[in-house]
Amino acid sequence: MRGRNNEFLEEKEVGGRISVFSIVVFGSIVNEGYVNRLDETQEHCIFNRNRNACNYGITVGVLAFLSCLLYLALDAYFPQISSVKDRKKAVLSDIGVSAFWAFLWFVGFCFLTNQWQASKEVDNPMNEGGDAARAAITFSFFSIFTWVSTAAIMLGVSLETFNMILEKPAPQASSSLYVRGLSHHFHLTDTKQRRELQAGDYTHLFP
């Protein structure tokens, strides 16, 4: 249980970093991710004037932040889940979601980096929002590893939960009742026959 508590603390620290990283990504794009030329009034996405790049960064950032809050709440509720099978389901879902977000952040990092490199200086001669764009790219990169770290932590918890299922002693009461019932039905009074029956040898019942 002690190891489980330590893993919870580790995951909450990772979850806190994921929340901050997500806020930085979508906050940077929302605040300074749209610029315009001197001869234009309409603002365009700073990433090569590709609105899809900005939309992707904002959408992934907001949804990742909400997902992080959801699973942090699940972590807080986790110790109250008494069923080992329910715990296993919760842990496996956490692993799947973390791997999914790691993939989306990888795609986002590659997408934003590509569009930033393709951006033309003529579209942003004053270099406005450059720091915000670089911050969004940098924290997208960091987010990949933090989500992978969360998946790795929860994978360890999953293995621990699986071991708990394997180590759970099998109930013996039903088999004992079954043996006593057969003994009574076949009127077995001999101790040797009862032991053979308990060991699973039923040949003497059907001569």
Task: Determine the pLDDT at residue 42.
Answer: 84
| Weakest mean pLDDT among 38-42, 87-91, 150-154, 159-163 | 159-163
Q: Is the pLDDT of residue 131 over 80?
A: yes
More confident residue, 120 or 136: 136
d(CA 153, CA 144): 14
Q: Is the pLDDT of residue 193 over 60?
A: no
Q: Is the pLDDT of residue 113 over 90?
A: yes
Task: Determine the pLDDT at residue 158.
Answer: 63
Confidence grade of residue 5 (pLDDT, cut at 50, 70, 90): very low
DSSP output for 87-132: HHHHHHHHHHHHHHHHHHHHHHHHHHHHHHHT--GGG-TT-TTHHH
Confidence grade of residue 101 (pLDDT, cut at 50, 70, 90): very high
Q: What is the pLDDT of residues 24-36, one digit of tens each?
A: 999 999 998 898 8
More confident residue, 86 or 191: 86
Q: What is the pLDDT of residues 40-65, one digit of tens each?
A: 788 889 999 999 999 999 999 999 99
How far are the Cα atoms of 31, 58, 71, 124 from residue 38, in angstroms, in the given order?
19, 25, 45, 9
More confident residue, 99 or 123: 99
